[in-house]
Chain A
Amino acid sequence: MPEPCISDVDFTMFRELFYRKTGIWFEDGKRYFVDRRLSERILASGKGSFRQYYQKLRWSDNGAEWQALINALTVNETYFFREVHQFECLVNSMLEEIAQHKTPGGVIRIWSIPSSSGEEPYSLAIYLLEKWRKLSEFDVEILASDIDTEALERARAGVYSARSVQYLPKEYLLKYFTPLPGDQYQLNEEIRGTVAFSRINLVDPQDTGMFQNIDVVFCRNLLIYFDDISRRRAAETLYDALAPGGFICLGHSESMSRISSLFTLRRFPEAIVYQKPIRRAP
C-alpha cells in the first residue's frame, strides 16, 4: 500500500480532533513528526486513506486505535527526573505553601499516579532528600499507584537501565544505586522502602474514594488517554483525594482547566500547577 498522503487540510482537521480528545496541540513545526507517525498508524489500522482513518477515529473507534495513536504521538518514555522543573516547583513553591498550614511534625502526603515502573515516585524521594531543606521538620509519605501489576512489581524491584537513569546527576547515581551486570542499576533498599505502592484503577468506581488528605498529586500523561467523561470523573476523584490547598501536577502539555473547573490554576516560577481551594467560597 502506498504511504497515505496527508494534506494541509487533513493536518488541520487532525490537529483539532487530537486536541479536543487529548488537550495536546501540535504547532506547525511538528508537521513532519505528526505526518510520519500518523501515516504509520493509518497503514497499521488497514485504512486506505487519511479520510477513512479520520472517520474511524471520529465515529467508530472503541478506544483501541486512539490508545495506539496517542502512544505514537506522545513521548511517553519514563525515566528518572523527567520534567524535573515540576520537582523544583514542588520543593521551592508547593511545599512552602503546604508547610505553612501543617503543624510541625505533621504528615505530608505525595501521590504519584500512574507510577509505572517507579521512576517518578523514586525521583520524588531522591529529590526531596537532596533538595528540600525542611524535610527534617515533617514526615513525608510517598504513595505510588498504577493499574498495571507487572509495572508495580518492576517498581518494587527497582532495577533500571542506563537509559532510565541518564539524567540523574552522577553523584546521586553513585549514592542511591548499586550497579548490576548488563549496564543496569538497582535503587538501594532505603529508598525503595520509602514508597508505598498500590494498584488503583482511577476510573473504577470501586477504587474511587481510596485516598484522602493528599497534599500533592503527580498525575502526568494519564488523563490524555481517557474519554471525556472518564477524564472528568478521574479529575473529580483526584480532587476529592486532595486535602484543601493541595496541588496536582499534570504533564506539561495537559491542562486541568479544560477538564474540570473544580481546580484553581496556580502559576509558579517553575511550573503551572492546579490547586484545590483551601476553603470553598460560601
Chain B
Amino acid sequence: MKRVLIVDDAVTVRLYHRQILEQAGFCVEEAINGLEALEKAVAAPFDLYLVDVNMPRMDGYTFLRELRACEEARQAPAVMISTESQEKDRMAAYAAGANYYLSKPILPETLVRLASLLTGGRPS
C-alpha cells in the first residue's frame, strides 16, 4: 500500500484528507507541523507528501527544502497546499521542491486523481 503523509496544523483538514485518501486505498499518517513531518519522513520515508504552507514551528516551504536535502526523500513526490490568495507563492513552492500545487479547499476527486498519478497508478 502506498503511504501518504499529511502535513497540516488544522485537525479537520487532516481528517478530511485522510478520509478521502483512505477510501481510495492509501495508508495515511499525519504530522501537525514541518518539524514533526521531517522526523517522520526521515524515520520511514513516504510515497507522497501533502504539505500545508502555514504551520507553526516549521512552515511548508522550509519542510520541503529540508526534505529534498535528505537522501531518503529526494525523489518523493510532494504536493503543496495553500489558500487561494497565496497564488504568488506557487513559484516559491516549486522552487522549494513541490511537484504540484493545490489551492484549498480541495475536491475529493482532485486529490485522489493527483495522489494516484504521483504515486504511479493505483495505491495498492
Contacts and interface: CB of A to CB of B under 8 A. Distances in A.
CB atoms of A and B under 8 A apart anywhere in the complex?
Answer: yes
Interface of A: 16, 19-20, 255, 257-258, 261, 265, 267, 272
Given A258-B35, A267-B42, 10 more contacts: A16-B11, A19-B32, A20-B32, A255-B36, A257-B36, A258-B36, A258-B39, A261-B58, A265-B42, A272-B43
A87 B57 CA distance: 31
B67 interface: no
13 contacts: A19-B32, A20-B32, A255-B36, A255-B39, A257-B38, A258-B33, A258-B35, A258-B36, A258-B39, A261-B58, A265-B39, A267-B43, A272-B43
Nearest to A260: B35
A210 to B, nearest CB: 28
B43 A258 contact: no
Query: Is chain A's interface secondary structure helix, strand, loop, or mixed overall?
Result: mixed
A257 B35 contact: yes
Centre residue among A16, A19, A20, A261 by max chain B CB count within 10 A:
A261
Contacts of B36: 255, 257-258
Contacts of A265: 39, 42
Contacts of A261: 35, 57-58
B122 to A, nearest CB: 28
A261 B57 CA distance: 9
Contacts, number: 22
Interface of B: 11, 32-33, 35-36, 38-39, 42-43, 57-58
Nearest to B11: A16
Query: Is chain B's interface secondary structure helix, strand, loop, or mixed overall?
Result: helix
Centre residue among A16, A19, A20, A258 by max chain B CB count within 10 A:
A258
Contacts of B33: 258
A257 B11 contact: no
Nearest to A255: B39
A272 B11 CA distance: 27
B22 to A, nearest CB: 15
Contacts of A267: 42-43
Nearest to A23: B36
A204 to B, nearest CB: 25
A268 to B, nearest CB: 13
B29 to A, nearest CB: 11
A272 B35 CA distance: 16
Contacts of A255: 36, 39
A235 B33 CA distance: 19
Nearest to B15: A12
A255 B57 CA distance: 14
A6 B42 CA distance: 35
A19 B36 CA distance: 12
